[in-house]
Structure 1
Amino acid sequence: MHILIVGAGLSGAVTGRALAEAGHRVTILDSRAHAGGNCHTERCPETGVMVHVYGPHIFHTDDAQVWDYVNRFARFRPYRNRVKTTARGAVYSLPVNLHTINQFFGRTFRPDEARAFIEETQADRTITDPQSFEEQALRFVGRDLYEAFFKGYTEKQWGCSPTELPASILKRLPLRFNYDDNYFAHRFQGMPEDGYTAMITGILDHPGIDLHLDTAYTPGHASRADHLFWSGPLDGYFGARLGRLGYRTLDFERFTASGDWQGCAVMNYGDPDVPWTRITEHKHFAPWESHEGTVCYREYSRACGDEDIPYYPIRLVREKALLAEYETLAATEEGVTFLGRLGTYRYLDMDVTIREALDTSAAFLAGSAKGA
């Protein structure tokens, strides 16, 4: 079969590789000048630092098969994401852990003492079924920690009150009563030594794959293929005929400096009067390298316009209702499979993106073998 894939990010690359290895002829289109989507990395010509052009990506997973898969195409070096935050004139470690609690309250709690202190004196135990982000936070850590570390950051990131956001957003964040400051708890964590674009280029390096960059999709492309895999925006496939799904986008204020700018890869800013959400210093994402210069990004979040790069699906009440309408439209389509972060309008970590691409490819191959 001739397979057309729109998007040369992780979803498109992994799907294309699986189908090409199964003997199909695969054409992949991407409107950008590079492969890798928002995972794209490149060397800064001024400093030599490997820059995560669209913001940092740290690979972490408990899926051994996915970990083995990415290690086929790149050498992964050990990396632990240790996030700091500046709030109220001091620097703390995230996620909230025993060190954060002791520093913030000026105490020397042991784990059991800290747990009792948070539950008995800070957490709002009148909240029995948290519905919003704010209710979950107040039940989770109490007002003082919530307002210092979560409220302002969340308002800047999402552009709305935490009372309007679902509790599920906060449920993903851990609260630790030990000194573990590793942001993720997965078994496998690391960074590709030569960057994500080199890894994804390796996935695309197959004689059965024909890659076209700087090429926008038109319906005429699909007419020449037996099946289309769409990893672009779901509403974009339909020409946004029902309206545009809501996203947050990011603006980056890039600057270079000498030496070490902030001493860590990620510094959050929880105070509402600081306009940026965080500063990332990219050479710290490759601690095995040494560079005299440094590249930093100040990161600002705002509503996504028609010409902006979509980053985070909003998925509030209006967006979920519109999503349901688009899903109904998608279910009537034949000869097309929607996948990935944009194609399914979900926030997906890299490992989940790869897992779903592998599973989708396997399901397609099994179905096509049966003539489905």
Structure 2
Amino acid sequence: MKKILIVGAGFSGAVVANTLAKTGNYKIKIVDERNHIGGNCHTERDSLTNVMVHKYGPHIFHTSNEKVWNYVNSFGTFRPFVNRVKSIYQGQVYSMPINLHTINQFYAKSFGPEEARKWIESQGDTSISDPKTFEEQAKKFVGEKLYKAFFYGYTKKQWGTEPRNLPASILKRLPVRFNYDDNYYNDVYQGIPVEGYTAIIQKMIEHPNIEVRLGTHFLGENEDNTDYDHVFYTGPIDAYFSFRFGRLGYRTVYFKEYRSDGDFQGNAVINYADEDIPYTRIHEHKHFTPWENHPKTIYFEEYSKETESSDIPYYPKRLEGDLEILKRYESEVSKLERVTFLGRLATYRYLDMHHIIEEALEIAEKFLDHETHR
């Protein structure tokens, strides 16, 4: 029986472990330096309110990939959940993403869909033909006023720099709708697991051929992996190589926790778009499980900052300097024969849960196919 080491007990590692273990041909060890499984998707019930809390910020599962949806549902029950985000700007509450209600409220109009479309087109900066920066991308498509209201302050707080310093790719497309649809996502399948994400991942790795060791630090290229036939690595790519070419840039987030009686804000997520409010959003976790009843509540202010060596990296910055460093690390990865890098940190890309699961399934299946035909 071949021996496999998986570094990281998040979705990437759990999917690979589950796929390989089911064949009966592999003995798998999963290591993670944290004291829990689930990575940044880790959920647990708050001891004082009994609310299911997303410990590293909100996670709403959404996908249009039926295979991925059926896969996660095979490990637990997902209940439908529509993320209806609000944004507060200058004391007014608006609906996000920008939709017909947002436009009419912001401009004090009563446009129909086509009127609103023409209005937004008239607000766009026609002098920008090929947007290079986040700011240019936003101004071209929604104009100065909507950009300043909903994107400028929020983005500056989230990324710690002027939006004109950020690449346009961060704002790949502006989610503007010319109807009253306030569903934050466009995907066919949207939901939240009844027992939380950690329970889903726990079921993935419940197999006699899978061993999990938490609180275990992996040393990357300095680790002796000779006992294993293959290593699947989901940690930071720069950490694997002991930051030989420098650290890649990330933003991280931290939270201030509050509890109270009743209902604090009446919604799962509310953004705070004004630049002078230090946090980016508040999430109240009882609203992620509307099928439950809780007399008390727990909510979090979310703040963004630069990632230091002791922080958990969240959002890859992918600025020009980062991408140059990344190329050097990727060159080193290409020289490794028995190590596969996968997941958000190991590939230095921002990936949603469904992307991570889809990619992990593909990688595991290709690995098994390659092993079969060796």
* 2:170 aligned counterpart, secondary structure: helix
Aligned to 1:201: 202
Aligned to 1:107: 109
Which amino acid letter does the alignment assign opposite residue 168 of structure 1? S
Displacement of 1:117 in angstroms is 1.0
Aligned to 2:285: 282
Which amino acid letter does the alignment assign opposite residue 30 of structure 1? D
- Match of residue 341, structure 1, among 340, 344, 352: 344
Counterparts of 1:159 and 1:115, CA distance in 2? 32
Displacement of 1:221 in angstroms is 5.2
Q: What percent of counterpart residues are identical? A: 55
- Match of residue 326, structure 1, among 321, 325, 329: 329
Counterparts of 2:27 and 2:323, CA distance in 1? 36
- Aligned residues of 2:117 and 2:178 also touching (Cα < 8 A): yes
Corresponding residue pairs, total: 370
Aligned to 1:146: 147
Aligned to 1:295: 298
Evaluate the alpha carbon distance shift between residue 221 and residue 173 of structure 1 in structure 2; reply closer, same or farther with a 3 A threshold. Answer: farther
Displacement of 1:32 in angstroms is 0.8
Aligned to 2:217: 216
Displacement of 1:220 in angstroms is 4.5
Aligned to 1:22: 23
Displacement of 1:173 in angstroms is 3.6
Q: Deviations over 1:105-162 (max 9, x none)?
A: 1110001111111112x11111111111111110111000000000000000011111
- Match of residue 77, structure 2, among 75, 78, 85: 75
Which amino acid letter does the alignment assign opposite residue 48 of structure 2? E
Counterparts of 1:295 and 1:370, CA distance in 2? 53
Q: Deviations over 1:57-109 (max 9, x none)?
A: 00000000000000000100000000000101100010000000000011100
Which amino acid letter does the alignment assign opposite residue 257 of structure 1? S
1:87-236 superposed matches below 5 A: 87-120=89-122, 122-218=123-219, 219-220=222-223, 222-236=225-239
Q: CA RMSD in A?
A: 0.9
Counterparts of 1:347 and 1:16, CA distance in 2? 22
Q: Deviations over 1:156-203 (max 9, x none)?
A: 001111112121222344100100000001000000000000000011
* 1:141 aligned counterpart, secondary structure: helix
Q: Deviations over 1:9-67 (max 9, x none)?
A: 00000001111112211110011111100000000010010000000100000000000
TM-score w.r.t. the length of structure 2 is 0.98
- Match of residue 65, structure 2, among 63, 66, 69: 63
Identify unmatched segments of 5+ residues in structure 1: none
* 2:9 aligned counterpart, secondary structure: coil
Q: Deviations over 1:183-240 (max 9, x none)?
A: 0010000000000000000111111111111111244452221110000000111111
* 1:242 aligned counterpart, secondary structure: coil
* 1:260 aligned counterpart, secondary structure: coil
Aligned to 1:86: 88
Identify unmatched segments of 5+ residues in structure 2: none
* 1:279 aligned counterpart, secondary structure: strand
- Match of residue 274, structure 2, among 271, 287, 308: 271
Which amino acid letter does the alignment assign opposite residue 231 of structure 1? T
Evaluate the alpha carbon distance shift between residue 296 and residue 15 of structure 1 in structure 2; reply closer, same or farther with a 3 A threshold. Answer: same
1:304-323 superposed matches below 5 A: 304-323=307-326
- Aligned residues of 2:138 and 2:174 also touching (Cα < 8 A): no
* 1:223 aligned counterpart, secondary structure: coil
Aligned to 1:256: 259
Aligned to 1:31: 33
- Aligned residues of 2:87 and 2:272 also touching (Cα < 8 A): yes
* 2:225 aligned counterpart, secondary structure: helix
Aligned to 1:44: 46
TM-score w.r.t. the length of structure 1 is 0.98
Larger mean Cα displacement after TM superposition, 211-220 or 109-118: 211-220
Which amino acid letter does the alignment assign opposite residue 89 of structure 2? A
* 1:222 aligned counterpart, secondary structure: coil
- Aligned residues of 2:86 and 2:95 also touching (Cα < 8 A): yes
* 1:142 aligned counterpart, secondary structure: helix
- Aligned residues of 2:141 and 2:174 also touching (Cα < 8 A): no
- Aligned residues of 2:44 and 2:52 also touching (Cα < 8 A): yes
Which amino acid letter does the alignment assign opposite residue 151 of structure 1? Y
